[in-house]
Amino acid sequence: MASIAIVGLGPVGLCSGVAFATQGHRVVAVDIDSKRRQEIARGKPPFYEKGIEAALRKVLRQKRFSVAETMEEAIGPSTVVFLCVGTPSRSDGSMDDGALRDAVKSLAAAWKDEKRRTVVVKSTVLPGTADGVVRPILEAARRPFRLGVNPEFLREGRALEDALRPDRIVLGADGPETARILKGLYRSAKCPLFSTDVKTAEAVKYATNAFLATKVAFADELANLCDAFGISYDEVHKGLGLDPRINPRFLVPGVGFGGSCLPKDVRALVAAGRRRGAEPVLLEGVLAQNDQQYLRAIARLEEELGDLKGKRIALLGLAFKGDTDDVRETRAVPIARTLLSKGALVIGYDPLAGPAFSALLPEVKIADSAKEALDGADGVVLQADWPAFSRLTAKDFLTAMATPVVVDGRRILDPKKMQGVRFRRIG
Q: In the complex, which residues of this chain contact ligand UGA (CB under 6 A)?
A: 124, 152-156, 209, 212, 216, 219, 250-252, 254, 257-259, 261-262, 320-321
How are strands ordered across the β-sheet holding 405-408?
A: 365-366, 345-349, 312-316, 379-382, 405-408, 422-425
Q: Which is nearer to ligand UGA, 13 or 254 (CB)?
A: 254
Q: Least CB distance from residue 38 to ligand UGA, whole Å?
A: 26
Q: Least CB distance from residue 234 to ligand UGA, whole Å?
A: 13
The amino acid that residue 284 corresponds to is E
Q: Which is nearer to ligand UGA, 262 or 298 (CB)?
A: 262
Q: Least CB distance from residue 275 to ligand UGA, whole Å?
A: 22
* Active-site pick, 15, 84, 226, 261: 261
Cα–Cα distance measured from residue 141 to residue 105, given in angstroms and rounded to the nearest whole number: 9
Q: Least CB distance from residue 354 to ligand UGA, whole Å?
A: 18
Q: Which is nearer to ligand UGA, 21 or 223 (CB)?
A: 223
Cβ(144)–Cβ(114) below 8 Å:
yes
What is the β-pairing status of strands 117-121 and 405-408? Answer: unpaired
Q: Least CB distance from residue 94 to ligand UGA, whole Å?
A: 17
Q: Is 261 a catalytic residue?
A: yes
Q: Least CB distance from residue 410 to ligand UGA, whole Å?
A: 6
Tell how far CA 427 is from the center of its chain: 25
Give the residues across from 195 on adjacent strands.
Answer: 171
Question: How would DSSP label each residue in 335-371?
Answer: HHHHHHHTT-EEEEE-TTTHHHHHHH-TTSEE-SSHH
For residue 274, give every residue at least 6 positions away whose Cβ sits within 8 Å of its Cβ, in sequence order, or none: 280
Q: Which is nearer to ligand UGA, 404 or 427 (CB)?
A: 427
Cα–Cα distance measured from residue 355 to residue 328, given in angstroms and rounded to the nearest whole number: 13
Q: Side-chain half-sphere of 240: how many Cα atoms within 13 Å?
A: 17
Cβ(79)–Cβ(117) below 8 Å:
yes
**CA distances, 117 to each of 3, 120, 146, 172, 175 (Å):** 10, 9, 6, 16, 14
What is the β-pairing status of strands 422-425 and 405-408? Answer: parallel
Q: Which is nearer to ligand UGA, 216 or 361 (CB)?
A: 216
Task: Determine phi and psi for 353, rounding to 5 degrees.
Answer: -95, 5
Question: How would DSSP label each residue in 80-129?
Answer: EEEE-----B-TTS-B--HHHHHHHHHHHHH--S---EEEEE-S---TTH
Q: Least CB distance from residue 63 to ligand UGA, whole Å?
A: 29
Q: Which is nearer to ligand UGA, 262 or 400 (CB)?
A: 262
Q: Which is nearer to ligand UGA, 311 or 411 (CB)?
A: 411
* Residues labelled catalytic: 261
